Amino acid sequence: MKKLYASAFVLLFTLSFAVNTISAQEKENKIVATFKGVTEAEYFKFVDAKEVTILFYDLDENIELSLYEEEIIGKKFNITWIQKEIELIDEEGNFTGEKLTVKSISAIKEEK
């Protein structure tokens, strides 16, 4: 019986930790920033009012705006973003097992 309680406690602790980890990664952040273009590494570069550079890895698949259009460089946007983990890929397209935390745009709207 004691073993059952210990197993249940470990399972509950593990689930609690997993939920907290997922919640931390899904925390939404908001910022207003000016789009500066796409970097050589294919990150989307924005600069906020304090001249801080923010690099975003990607956009949510439901966003219709293309940040590859030259005419939007210099425009200001309201951006909602999250942090997420991605797995790195080597030159041959194989997963390396290494993970990287990146910023991902979940919503974006031009500031008028």
Tell me the pLDDT tens digit for each residue of 24-44. 457 999 999 999 999 999 999
Domain boundaries, given as residue ranges, for the chain: 28-110
CATH 2.40.50 fits 28-110, yes or no: yes
Strands 29-38 and 76-89: antiparallel
CA atoms within 13 A on the CB side of 100: 10
| Distance separating alpha carbons of residues 37 and 96, to the nearest angstrom | 29
For residue 26, give the nearest of 77, 65, 80 by alpha carbon: 80
Tell me the pLDDT tens digit for each residue of 78-88. 999 999 999 99
pTM: 0.72
